[in-house]
């Protein structure tokens, strides 16, 4: 069984968001799910390091560096 869930999303506007979550129930208490997810935001580089997969290899070096090293604010429901 996997120990972690590693995920990322890349938007057309050249933004990305990545998460690493433990594979266990996460008590959220009275917080909304989106607020709980904020605690698990990481850089795309962190996901790449854990998986050994380079997710943004098709991007220009300048874009890849900027996107993969930034840890953006959470943007659920916003158009990218």
> pLDDT digits over 46-71, tens only?
989 988 988 888 888 888 888 888 88
Domain extents for the chain? 4-69
Q: How many CB atoms lie within 10 A of CB 56?
A: 19
Global pTM reads 0.71
Q: What is the DSSP string of 1-55?
A: --SEEEEEEEETTTEEEEEEEESS----TTS-HHHHHGGGEE-HHHHHHHH---T
pLDDT tens for each residue of 2-42? 667 666 677 666 778 888 888 888 777 877 877 888 888 89
- Name the residue among 66, 4, 74, 72 with its Cα closest to residue 34: 74
């Amino acid at each position: 069984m996997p120990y972690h869930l590693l995920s990322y999303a890349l938007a057309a506007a050249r933004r990305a968001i990545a998460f690493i979550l433990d594979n266990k129930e996460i008590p959220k208490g009275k917080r909304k799910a989106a607020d709980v997810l904020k605690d698990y935001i990481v850089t795309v580089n962190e996901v790449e390091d854990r998986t050994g997969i380079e997710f943004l290899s098709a991007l220009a070096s300048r874009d890849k560096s900027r996107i993969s090293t930034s840890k953006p604010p959470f943007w659920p429901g916003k158009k990218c």
